[in-house]
Structure 1
Amino acid sequence: MSDTTQLWVIIIALGLGSFGMRFAFLGLVGDRAMPEWLLRHLRYTAVAVIPALVAPLVVWPTATGGEPDATRLSAAVATFAVGYLTKNVFAAMGVGAAVLVTLSALL
Structure 2
Amino acid sequence: MSDATVWIVIVALGAGTYLIRFSFLGLIGSRPMPALVLKLLRYTAVAIFPGIVAPLVLTPAATGGAFDPARGLAAAITLGVGLATRNMLAAIGAGAASLYTFLWLLG
For residues 10 and 102 of structure 2, the distance between their equivalents in structure 1, rounded to whole angstroms, comes to: 41
Deviation at 1:28, TM superposition (A): 1.2
Query: 2:23 is matched with which residue?
Result: 24
1:38-49 mapped onto 2 (5 Å cutoff): 38-49=37-48
Aligned length: 106
The farther-off stretch of 30-39 and 50-59 is 30-39
Question: Normalization by structure 2: what TM-score?
Answer: 0.91
Deviation at 1:57, TM superposition (A): 0.4
Equivalent position amino acid for 1:19 in 2: Y
- Unpaired runs of 5+ residues, structure 2, are none
* Percentage of identical aligned residues: 52
Q: Show CA shifts across 1:41-91 (max 9, x none).
A: 001101110000000000000111110001000000001111112211111
- Unpaired runs of 5+ residues, structure 1, are none
Question: Normalization by structure 1: what TM-score?
Answer: 0.91
Equivalent position amino acid for 1:59 in 2: L
Q: What is the RMSD of the two structures over their aligned residues, measured on CA atoms?
A: 1.2
Query: 2:90 is matched with which residue?
Result: 91
Deviation at 1:18, TM superposition (A): 0.7
The farther-off stretch of 95-104 and 26-35 is 26-35
